[in-house]
Structure 1
Amino acid sequence: MGMNKELEARVDAYVDEVWEDVVRDIAQIVSHPSVVDAEDAAPGAPFGANVRAALDCGLGIAERLGYATGEDDGYLGWGDIPGERSTQVATIAHVDVVPAGSGWVTDPFRVERRDGWLLGRGVADDKGPAVLSLYAGAFFLHEGITPRYTFRALLGCDEEVGMSDVHHYLETHDDPAFLFTPDASFPVCNAEKGCFGGRFASAPVADGTIRFWSGAEVSNAIPGESVVELAVDASELPAPAAHVDRLRIEAIRPGVARIVARGVGGHASMPEGTINAVALIVDYLAEIHDLLAPAEQAYVELLDVLTEDAYGEAAGVASANEAFGPLTLNAGKIVMHEDGRIVLSVDIRYPDSTSGRELEARLSALASKYDVAFEVSSTKSPFSVSAEHPAVQALLDVYREVTGEPAEPFSMGGGTYARNFACAVSFGPEGDASELPDWVGPMHGANEGASEAALRQALKIYILALVRLQELDL
């Protein structure tokens, strides 16, 4: 099926007409620092006031575009375009974001438009795509088209933390016939690795050397900065033998020193090109091993194994297959408790060549070797939708027609909303992080950016995909 040139011209004209509104709306929704805050929960705002404000912003955009809007007790919201049938074709994007973190050269919650790029927390993951999904469906309204199937644009509020928003929604709402989430790369991701989270806790240390340690704010981010404070005079600390340009030793006061490590942050599922700042600290602590208390020495030895590589090889959990690719292991969030316990959270994305049970067994055995406690915090099995499904093929066809590029479905380590629905995939629009200008960061990293040209093309792809999906027997 080739591209309908008359339809393509109408879509191109629509994208041109609405583009400045799209950019304004992305800037408006990014302005809300919508990091999930369970302690700020309230009726109608289960993830805190900032997330609720971002949801209201998104619903306001939908209403302005002509959608009929609704919500599920603040867990998520939606905009509907009624079709000839109640059967739904849907999209879902999320309005919550990971914390800004350090290293920004701009205000993370104020979009900066620069040289064809938008910079701000969420422009790529996932507020920019959320706005695109609303404008994609609004094409039907703009053109006076009644779709065959009802279109529902879902706006989630808890994707980055637990996806409890979708679980809550699906308790009382039917699955759509088909759904895509604009929260990955093109062409189509039809398979997602399993997600496994665990915590390694050291024994309490009453008078240890390590007094404070920080890493990523969330476990699914590779830390771009890590700070450790030691009960040691700075003059007693040797200069780093490794990573000299990434470590800084500071004297806080007599008898207390701070070591600051600067790495290259990113998403836990995509370690290529990143440098884990916690791993830099671990390497330095290994150099000053004799200054640590025995329990701290054992814990740092364990962390040395966990941070040696990003694929679980040293930890003994590596696994890979052709369908899903390799397991990834991120040791990112580290917290120091008042009783002297240090707790490291790991985020593992795994192929179906291993299992959550196998990972638990191997990591528990590894922890016990160092007299460290280990507990599982979360586990989700791998999921996939057949590459031969007509809707998957329709998305691939549209992508090929718009871009002129070959397209095959792929798997990834990132966990998206798709895994929670009966028939769903992720479908763009994030680009290749290795191709970003040096002043533009990846999603979950500092200076998160999105190319306007890529977003414009994605909007065209989404509109044409929604039109094509309406033609299928779902």
Structure 2
Amino acid sequence: MNQVEQSVAEYVDEVWEDVVADIEQLVSYPSVAVAADAEPGAPFGRPVRDALDCALGIAQKLGYQTSDDDGYVGIADIPGRGDKQLATICHVDVVPAGPGWNTDPFAMERREGWLLGRGVIDDKGPAVLSLYAGAYLLKHGIVPRYTFRALLGCDEEVGMSDVHHYLENHADPDFLFTPDAEFPVCNAEKGQFGATFVSPKIDGGRIVSWSGAEASNAIPSQSICELAIAADELPAPVENADRLEITALDNGHAQIFAHGIGGHASMPEGTINAVGLIVAYLREAEDAFGARDERLLTPAEHEFVKFLAFVHADAYGRGLGIDATSPAFGPLTCNAGLIRVADGHIEQVIDVRFPDSTSADTIREQLDPLVGRFGVTCRVGRAKVPFSVSADDPAVKALIDTYNEFTGKHAEPFAMGGGTYARNFARAVSFGPEETGLELPAWGGQMHGPNECANEEQLKQALKIYIVAILRLNELEL
């Protein structure tokens, strides 16, 4: 270990208990961004503003110069010798806690070398790491070549309007990385496409209510559907019987409760969409009713559930006819997580992450035949093109080299389906702190799902990597 790495390791050991305590404090805020709850200086609601103030307070304690962009983005600076700027950006907002937690999601627990709570890995834990990474400079009296700016966003999980506001009022950093993804370095992000499928008007329907994920970018771990029929009239599940519960409600209706395996919309491998479990059961139950020349659902409901079977056929858009892949970006993913019954219609939202071999316009055109066949309305939402920065960029090389030296690996930059702040900046990548293939404890879960957890040793290693990377980036001509 060289002298710099030795100094960094000693610093991390010295501050680690403070790091954990600050993560715990930041996790305590239920900071779900809600633009409808905007107040002056708090464009995404008071809980997010409180979390931002907490993070800025941590920065002030560490010695940063702090300010904020009208409550959209927090700014923590370590002035440099020149005019150029090196930046990181994390976010203090989180997806809703959602069901399935075994602990209070906003009271962080420390267990067996892991941190447990909403935001510990996405992205409050990394936000604290970014502040302590820059604070290494302050601790050792280092005036950096480039101003180091730690940005703290407030609307990453919803629309990233925070960085749009920031960039209208501030110059683009000369280079930025965001600790909001997996190591080694993500230099390319898939495009994004969102749409809502709306059923025709349903009169006198049997489906009273239906819930799924709390956010479109979350794969639902639970789904609940209430049917206006007695529970004892429904057949017992055949497929997925261990994941479905049918109970009688006090109003004489039946409730179907599906237990899936949640996760992030861009990483469906290993997950089970709970809404899809209910779709499959409804199709199964309808067949059982049909065998008795009876109907479970109204004709309009029947057709829409039949359509939903195509939506939920898999997590890669094959049922919808929109599947695509490319060598650089990998396969398209499609998550159908948000579902509800409203104003006599059933609405299903999809979140699509697509490679550079297709486009939002192509996806929209490919949806038309199936949508038309079932008389479904398709409301198109967001659309973002794929984004990439060259793997040969010297700054990208500095990051990947630092990661490889710490881990002994020979990793290369990669593309992913997740959307980070990086795509909004001219020269930016995402850089950890997650590790692919890290085995979670039995009681722990992934980001965006219940029981979100982060490994302390993993976070410690990431902090060391970030500090050395910042030192090396200051040696480059940005």
TMscore range, shorter length: over 0.9
Query: What is residue 79 of structure 1 aligned with on the other side?
Result: 76
Deviation at 1:269, TM superposition (A): 0.3
1:234-257 Cα offsets, whole Å, 9 max, x none, are 111000121100000011136411
Contact 1:79/1:152, CA 8 A, preserved across alignment: yes
**Contact 2:174 2:427 (8 Å CA) reproduced:** yes
- Give yes or no for contact 2:183–2:436 (8 Å, CA) kept in 1: no
AA at the equivalent of 1:325: G
Does residue 1:309 correspond to 2:314, yes or no?
yes
Q: 1:468 aligns with which of 466, 472, 475?
A: 472
Give me the TM-score of the superposition, normalised by structure 1.
0.98
Show the counterpart of 1:457.
Answer: 461
For 1:336 and 1:254, how far apart are their aligned partners in 2?
A: 18
2:200 — aligned with what?
Answer: 203
Residue 398 (1) aligns with residue 395 (2): no
- Distance in 2, matches of 1:323 and 1:379, equals 20
Deviations 1:366-388 (A, max 9, x none): 21110110011111100000000
Shift of 1:440: 1.1
Deviation, 1:328, is 0.2
Name the count of aligned residue pairs.
470
SS of 1:85 mapped into structure 2: coil
Q: Whole-Å Cα distance in 2 between the matches of residues 118 and 431 of structure 1?
A: 15
Give 1:446's match in structure 2, choosing from 450, 454, 457: 450
Give deviations 1:248-291, integer Å, cap 9, x for gaps: 00111364111000100000000000000000000011122331
Aligned to 1:426: 430
Q: Please say if residues 74 and 152 of structure 2, whose CA atoms lie closer than 8 Å, have aligned partners that are also in contact.
A: yes
Question: How is 1:280-359 mapped onto 2 (pairs within 5 angstroms)?
Answer: 280-289=277-286, 290-337=295-342, 339-359=343-363
Once residues 386 and 254 of structure 1 are traced to their aligned partners in structure 2, the CA distance between those partners, rounded to angstroms, is 60
Cα shift at 1:432: 2.9
Q: Alpha-carbon deviation of 1:434?
A: 5.8
Partner of 1:193: 190
The TM-score normalised by the length of structure 2 is: 0.97
Q: Residues of 2 paired with 1:436 and 1:78: CA distance?
A: 33
Instruction: Report % sequence identity.
Output: 64
Contact between 1:331 and 1:346, CA under 8 Å: does it hold in 2?
Answer: yes
State the shift of 1:315 in Å: 1.1
Q: Secondary structure at the match of 1:253?
A: coil
Q: Which residue of 1 aligns with 2:292?
A: none
Is 2:119 the counterpart of 1:129?
no
> Match for 2:394: what amino acid?
P
Q: Which residue of 1 aligns with 2:368?
A: 364
Contact preservation (8 Å) 2:103, 2:451? yes
Structure 2 distance, partners of 1:17, 1:241, is 56
Question: What corresponds to 1:95 in structure 2?
Answer: 92
Does residue 270 of structure 2 align to residue 273 of structure 1? Answer: yes
Aligned-partner Cα distance in 1 for 2:446–2:217: 13
For residue 228 of structure 2, the aligned residue among 223, 228, 231 is 231
Measured after TM superposition, the shift of residue 405 of structure 1 is 1.2
User: What RMSD over aligned residues (CA atoms) do the two structures have, in Å?
Assistant: 0.9
Consecutive unaligned residues in structure 2, runs of 5 or more: 287-294
Query: Partners of 2:197 and 2:107 in 1: how far apart?
Result: 37
**Alpha-carbon separation, structure 2, partners of 1:288 and 1:12:** 60
In structure 2, relative to structure 1, the CA distance for the partners of 1:24 and 1:254 (3 Å cut) is: closer
Give CA deviations for 1:29-79 in whole Å, capped at 9, x if unaligned: 000000012221111000000000000000000000000001000001110
Do the aligned residues in 2 keep the contact of 1:211 with 1:340 (CA within 8 Å)?
no
